[in-house]
A and B are shown apart, each in its own frame.
Chain A
Amino acid sequence: MPTVATTVSPPVPDTAPAVSGRAGARPRRSSATLAALPLLVFVTVFFGLPMVAVGIGAVTVTDRATDTTTLTAANLSRSVQGAYLDALTSSIKLSLITAALGVVLGTLLAQAVVASRLPGLRNLVVTASGVLANFGGVPLAFAFIATLGISGVMTELLHLTEAGWSLYTPAGLAVVYLYFLIPLMVLVIAPALDGLRPQWREAAANCGATGWQFWRLIGLPVLGPSLLGGFVLLFGTAFAAYATAAAMVGSVLPLVTLQIADALSGNVLIGQEGVASALALDMVIVAGLVMAIYLPLQRRSARWLR
Chain B
Amino acid sequence: MTITQTKPGAGVEFRALRRTFGSTVALDGLDLTVAPGELLALLGPSGCGKTTALRMVAGFDHPDSGQVLVDGVDIVGVPANKRDAGMVFQSYSLFPNLSARDNVAFGPRIRKVDAATRRARADELLAMVGLPTQGDRFPHQLSGGQQQRVALARALALQPRVLLLDEPLSALDAQVRLTLREEISRLQKNLGITTIFVTHDQEEALSMADRVAVLRDGRLEQCATPIELYHHPATAFVAEFVGTMNRIPGRLTGSGRVEVAGQQMPVIGDVPTQTAVDVLIRPEDVRVSADVDGPARVVTVSFLGPTTRLFVELPDGIGIKADLATRQASGLGPGAAVRVELAEHPVMVSASR
Contacts and interface: CB of A to CB of B under 8 A. Distances in A.
Q: Touching in the complex, A and B, CB below 8 A?
A: yes
Nearest to B105: A207
Interface string A202-233: 11111111100100011001101000000000
B92 interface: yes
Interface residues of B, number: 32
Contact of A203 (B79, B89, B111): B89
B97 interface: yes
A208 B110 contact: yes
Contacts of B98: 218
Contact of B81 (A210, A217, A224, A303): A210
A202 B95 contact: no
A213 B140 contact: no
A210 B158 CA distance: 16
B95 to A, nearest CB: 5
A205 B81 contact: yes
Contacts of B107: 207-208
Interface in B88-106: 89-98, 106
**Could you say which of B82, B94, B96, B157 has the most chain A C-beta atoms within 10 Å of its C-beta?**
B96
A207 B89 contact: no
Interface string A188-213: 00000000010110111111111001
Interface string B31-63: 000000000000000000000000000111000
Contact of B93 (A203, A209, A210, A304): A203
A149 B59 CA distance: 55
Interface in A150-180: none
- Interface residues of A toward B: which range? 20 to 34
Given A208-B107, A208-B158, A210-B81, A199 B97 contact: no
A206 B94 CA distance: 12
A133 B86 CA distance: 45
B155 interface: yes
B175 to A, nearest CB: 23
A199 B85 CA distance: 15
Interface string B55-74: 00011100000000000000
A27 B92 CA distance: 40
B321 to A, nearest CB: 39
A305 B96 contact: yes
Contacts, number: 74
**Could you say which of A197, A200, A203, A209 has the most chain B C-beta atoms within 10 Å of its C-beta?**
A203
A56 B60 CA distance: 65
Contacts of B106: 204, 207, 209, 217
Contact of A222 (B80, B82, B93, B97): B97
A306 interface: yes
Nearest to B89: A199
A205 B93 contact: no
Contacts of B83: 206
A206 B91 CA distance: 15
Contact of A202 (B80, B91, B140, B157): B80
Contacts of B97: 218, 221-222, 224, 304
A298 to B, nearest CB: 15
Contacts of B109: 217
A210 B110 CA distance: 9
A205 B98 CA distance: 16
A207 B94 CA distance: 12
A199 B55 CA distance: 12
A199 B81 contact: no
A283 to B, nearest CB: 34
Given A203-B95, A218-B95, A208 B111 contact: yes
B96 A304 contact: yes
A209 B110 CA distance: 6
Nearest to A223: B97
B87 interface: yes
A303 B60 CA distance: 28
A200 B95 contact: yes
B154 interface: yes
Nearest to A224: B97
A137 B296 CA distance: 82
A197 B92 contact: yes
B80 A206 contact: yes
**Could you say which of B86, B92, B95, B111 has the most chain A C-beta atoms within 10 Å of its C-beta?**
B95
Interface in A267-306: 303-306
A205 B106 CA distance: 11
B215 to A, nearest CB: 21
Nearest to A199: B93
Interface string B134-178: 000000100000000001001101100000000000000000000
Nearest to A213: B110
Interface in B326-348: none
A199 B155 CA distance: 13
B80 A207 contact: no
Contact of A304 (B60, B80, B140, B157): B140
Given A218-B97, A222-B97, A303-B140, A205 B89 contact: no
Lowest 9 A-B CB distances belong to which pairs? A207-B107, A199-B93, A205-B80, A304-B96, A208-B110, A221-B97, A205-B81, A206-B87, A203-B93
9 contacts: A199-B90, A200-B93, A202-B89, A203-B87, A203-B94, A207-B154, A208-B110, A213-B110, A217-B109
Interface of B: 58-60, 79-83, 85-87, 89-98, 106-107, 109-111, 140, 151, 154-155, 157-158
Given A204-B106, A208-B82, 9 more contacts: A197-B92, A203-B87, A205-B60, A205-B80, A206-B80, A206-B85, A206-B86, A206-B155, A221-B97
